[in-house]
Amino acid sequence: MTVESPSIHQTSWQFRFFTIWTGQAFSILGSHLVGFAFVWHLTETTGSATVLTIGTLMNVLPMIIISPIAGALVDRWNRKMIMILFDSITALFTILIAILFYLDIAQIWHIYLAMLIRSACGQFQWAAISASTSLMVPKESLPHIAGANQALQGVVNIIGPALGAFLIAVLPIHGVLSIDVITAFMGIVPLFFFTIPQPVRKFGNTDATQKIKTSVWRDFIEGFQYVLTWKSLMGIILIAMLVNFLINPAFALLPLVITNHFSKGAYELGFINSVYGIGVILGGLALSAWGGFKNRILTSLVALIFAGGGVLAIGLAPSSQFLLAVGGMALFGFFIPMVNGPLFAAMQAKVEPEIQGRVFSLLHAGAGLTSPLGLIIAGPIADLTSNQLWFIVGGIATILTGLVALFKPAILEIGLDPEDNPAH
């Protein structure tokens, strides 16, 4: 496969990749600050599980609806321009919502709309950087970069909630939102100084590679058929659908677990989220150094079982044992990088670069397909019963799912090296 860029095996790949990576890290941090500010505002002003789950739904819907379209477009458009454009749009809408808060006229539906638009833009950014990584990084370094990406999420989850809780205490919410504009700028600037490799698309059985005009719909169908006929990948998607159906609603209710069950406040919410971040960074660093089992999916499934144990601990923690919930969150955070990192490393190694945008986006969308249903059900039920219920059920289901999948050869196949077992 040839690409419109110098070889990634040149020594300069680290400088280009990590300069862009650092800029994106600041942009992600700003997004976490905004997310924390929105969630705490909704928690403090309404105290409603239904309101919180609707807010989470606004973040999830674009992942399901927009992500597949974004993947098809990312495989056709200039990936650098996609990252610049959608990071800029995100910053623009953050400015608008900040103005509404400054004028004291912001309503709940304004926050929902901002969440929806920011999430939709994020799908394009995520698809572009995910599909570009395998063209900027040598194949043998992909597992380590996957670990580094998970560690980055951990760093952001440490700093973001703690900084968010502090900023909410000392600044009005529009002041917190304005910081995201600065971090978005920091993410955009490096993109002007480096090229982002573009794959040369190959069509049909011809040896000629050329950019033939095809419809976005045809591209989408091609990606969908690729995923649908790969039984191993479909198995992974089904596992993710089941887990996300229960896990996403549980963590959407975490602010109410903190305030209602443990009788804590914004600082404790920031603290437990930061502990999650510490777990993620330690798990990401461990994965980056270790690399995981030879079969990458085996690593993911074993980690999934332990992550489910962490979720269960949060749900079972008595109201007087906040530290038990903290421990459960740390356990969950530590193993999440080992669930996600090896999976995406396996995909980046196996899927052809010219179709990665579509395949990754469809995987992303499929994994979250059941989340809206879980969120719609979780809010009203939690208002009537217990916010911890979803953590208990979700933890048990996650553990059982991981155990069953360990004995499914079709699932384990996707983790084999491409040379040993090609994708199709």
More confident residue, 291 or 397: 397
Q: Identify the band that residue 357 occupies on the pLDDT scale cut at 50, 70 and 90.
A: low
Tens-place pLDDT, residues 204-232: 444 434 444 456 667 667 777 777 777 77
- C-alpha to C-alpha distance for 171 and 412, rounded to whole angstroms: 49
Neighbours of 202 (CB within 10 A): 17
Contact call for residues 280 and 330 (beta carbons, < 8 A): no
Angle formed by the axes of helices 356-367 and 49-74, to 10°? Answer: 160
| pLDDT of residue 198 exceeding 50 | yes
Position 9 scores a pLDDT of 44
More confident residue, 347 or 242: 242
Q: Name every residue whose Cβ is closer than 8 Å to that of residue 217 and which is 6 or more positions away in sequence.
A: none
Position 391 scores a pLDDT of 92
Tell which residue, 373, 311, 369, 285, has the closest CA to residue 68.
Answer: 369
Instruction: Retrieve residue 38's tokens.
Output: 């929105």
Position 17 scores a pLDDT of 79
Mean of pLDDT values over 177-181: 85
- C-alpha to C-alpha distance for 397 and 377, rounded to whole angstroms: 17
- Tell me the pLDDT of the chain averaged across its residues: 79
Distances (CA, A) of 201 to 212, 358, 422: 8, 13, 20
Position 210 scores a pLDDT of 43
Task: Provide the whole-model pTM.
Answer: 0.65
Mean of pLDDT values over 145-174: 77
Beta strand segments in 220-325, E: none
> Which of the residue ranges 125-129, 305-309, 352-356, 359-363 has the most confident prediction, judged by mean pLDDT?
305-309
Instruction: Retrieve residue 107's tokens.
Output: 């309503």
> Which of the residue ranges 13-22, 33-42, 175-184, 328-337 has the most confident prediction, judged by mean pLDDT?
328-337
One-letter amino acid for residue 385 of the chain: T
More confident residue, 109 or 17: 109
Q: What is the CATH number that goes with domain 13-196+222-415?
A: 1.20.1250.20
| pLDDT of residue 119 exceeding 70 | yes
Mean of pLDDT values over 108-117: 90
Position 217 scores a pLDDT of 66
